[in-house]
Structure 1
Amino acid sequence: MKIRFGFVSNATCLWEASPAKTLTFKRYNELGQEEGRQKLLEVTKQNIENTLRVLQYNTAHQVELYRLSSSIVPLATHPDVKWDFVTPFAKEWEKLGDWVLANNMRVSFHPNQFTLFTSPKPSITENAVKDMEFHYKMLQAMGIADQSFINIHIGGAYGDKNSAIIRFHDNLRSLPEHVKARMTLENDDKTYTASETLRVCKREGIPFVFDYHHHLANLSVEPLNELLTDVYTTWEDSNSVPTIHISSPKSASAFRSHADYIDIAFIMPLLKALTELGKDVDFMIEAKMKDQAMLKLIEEMSRIRGVKRVSGGSVFIK
């Protein structure tokens, strides 16, 4: 069983390489239309350049898994801005995609918690569709839309989980099919358990991204090995192995918060269950120290009997 490792957005070992530099709408307005538009171009260009730096850093470390920042383009979906963020950077977007393809990298997006399809308010659903289309448009500009994923949570329960689930299925019809085809769903730490999320995934034909930390904070009744078996079935038609999110609690009293690094003892039950399944998987590290946490975990796992490090960013477990 091979496990590839990746991390989210920022490479902490790189100097001044944030791919998520911002421009607020307030500042954009203060600058005026012409200067504000120029600032949008400058910030976006820098974020794309820094994204390429992180991708190059990943390749240098043989890391083939990476979550792109959702904040590469400031104000991309703001109703009072509505600007073309693709045309001015056509070559730059293409360069990102070329690097991803040339280096066998798997990338994804994870829009924020407000991108959801359970709200009773039509405006929330409309904004969710716009945000999903925005993320798809970035992947399309890179030329990797047919192999990358956009991951979200089911959303809120609004006091009635059964009704919210019905709304999710109804509201999801608003999402264009080509965007839905690149969508994944993740269990959360408070509302929708892994088994509840799995049911939605199976009905909609959507791959399930299992978050182990969220699972322990919001347990399902099914045993872990049964859940994982079902997780794999949702990925059968995706041409990809499952992605599992990995983090560990900051403390016992702040269990849902992510620690700086991964406590290997915390994830051992997951590793044991996956080893019994014997199927390849990708681990997305969600610890606060990002790439440093990833590299530390790989190093620690490689010291375990039966685990062999086969590249800078992957291990093989017998």
Structure 2
Amino acid sequence: MTSAAPRSAPAGGSPAYGLVCMTVGPEVRFRTVTRTRYLALSESERREKLRDIYGANIARLRAAAEFCAARGIQLYRLSSSLFPMLDLRHGGTADEISGEVFAEFSGELQAAGAAFAAAGIRTLMHPEQFIVLNSDRPEVRESSLHALGVHARVMDALGLERSGWNLLLLHGGKGGRGAELQALIPDLPDAIRLRLGLENDERAFGAADLLPVCEATGTPFVFDAHHQVVHGRLSGFDDPSIREWTLRARATWQPPEWQLVHLSNGIDGPHDRRHSYLIADVPAAYADVPWIEVEAKGKEEAVAALMGQS
């Protein structure tokens, strides 16, 4: 696996702010194809379509590394949709064409991952919320594990180290089933388990629900202050519990210098779940957090503003 650098907190005492997936501008955009369109194609057409999309998206991923490096952005979230149809199954069997086409790009994938590592850019993936490992429905658990395994396969193919440095981030899943989530984590495949991080959400898993799972399983806790404000109906980021949860989350990270949190603001106030365009309110509790992923509609513009760039 490609090693990442730097292997500690960002230099200079300032946090590393992270860009999520794409840019508002045209610099970092990815292509896709719908399931309906894909299945309407002949087998040869499917193969060519995916070759075209996968090749283009890998090239754009390299461009994302260059974009971040040029702007001093040290944290980047990889899109979960880089390789459409790679998680597709037909009657429980994985789609062969997508897997075969993906394997054809092994060299290009390694080079793309190496570009991030060479620039000292930390990476993560955050699959869609349809992945619910602790669902009470066996078919959902099985499909979720399959989809998560595909994400881990992408990270392996990129040469990204199996550790919390290259995070594979999930929400807690089905509410009221923390014990079930805790029980299944130790048995996850290494490609998933060694990268796994868990994030609190606005509804099912507040910080108090998720922290015990993280502590019991050695899983890093990615604290989201905005989610916690919404979940707990707190007055805002100035609530003393935000600092408490930031510190308790840090204790789940090994090393603590790898702690990553999420930062977002509501459009119409602290209880609005919708993300604002820029970030106007940064929790004082985050003052000494080294890695901050910025979830804002303004993407690179929000990151640049936080970094004090024009």
Per the shorter chain, which TM-score range?
0.7 to 0.9
Distance in 1, Cα, partners of 2:104 & 2:268: 46
Q: How does 1:68-107 map to 2 (within 5 A)?
A: 68-80=78-90, 81-82=95-96, 83-84=98-99, 85-107=101-123
Deviating beyond 6 angstroms after TM superposition, the runs of 4 or more aligned structure 1 residues are: none
CA distance in 2, matches of 1:220, 1:227: 15
**Quick one: distance in 2 between partners of 1:259 and 1:199?**
31
TM-score by length of 1: 0.84
Residues paired across the two proteins, number = 285
Which stretches in structure 2 are left out of the alignment for 5+ residues?
1-12, 235-239
Q: How does 1:67-216 map to 2 (within 5 A)?
A: 67-80=77-90, 81-82=95-96, 83-84=98-99, 85-146=101-162, 147-157=165-175, 161=176, 164-216=177-229
- Report deviation, 1:252: 3.8
Q: What's the CA shift for 1:174? A: 4.9
Distance 1:253 1:108 in 2: 26
What is the TM-score normalised by the length of structure 2? 0.86
CA contact (8 A) 1:194 1:219 kept: no
Inter-partner Cα distance in structure 2 for 1:42 and 1:26:
18
Letter in 1 for 2:294: I
* Identity fraction in percent: 26
What is the letter of the counterpart of residue 160 of structure 2? I
What residue ranges of structure 1 are gaps of 5+ in the alignment? Answer: 300-311, 313-318
CA shift at 1:113, angstroms?
A: 0.3
**2:264 equivalent in structure 1:** 247
Is the 1:86–1:93 Cα contact (8 Å) retained in structure 2?
no
How many Å apart are 1:287 and its aligned residue? 0.3
Asked if 1:233 corresponds to 2:248, the answer is no
2:33 to 4, 7, 23: 23
Q: Which residue of 2 aligns with 1:292?
A: 301
SS at match of 2:232: coil
1:254 CA displacement: 7.0
Q: What RMSD, in angstroms, separates the aligned Cα atoms of the two structures? A: 2.1
Aligned-pair distance for 1:169?
2.4
Query: Does residue 60 in structure 1 map to residue 60 in structure 2?
Result: no
Distance in 2 between the 1:65 and 1:253 partners? 25
Show the counterpart of 2:18: 6
Give the superposition deviation at 1:104: 0.7
Partner deviation per Cα, 1:119-164 (whole Å, 9 max, x = no partner): 111111111211221111111111113241100001122xxx1xx1
**In structure 1, how many angstroms separate the alpha carbons of the residues matched to 2:21 and 2:286?**
26
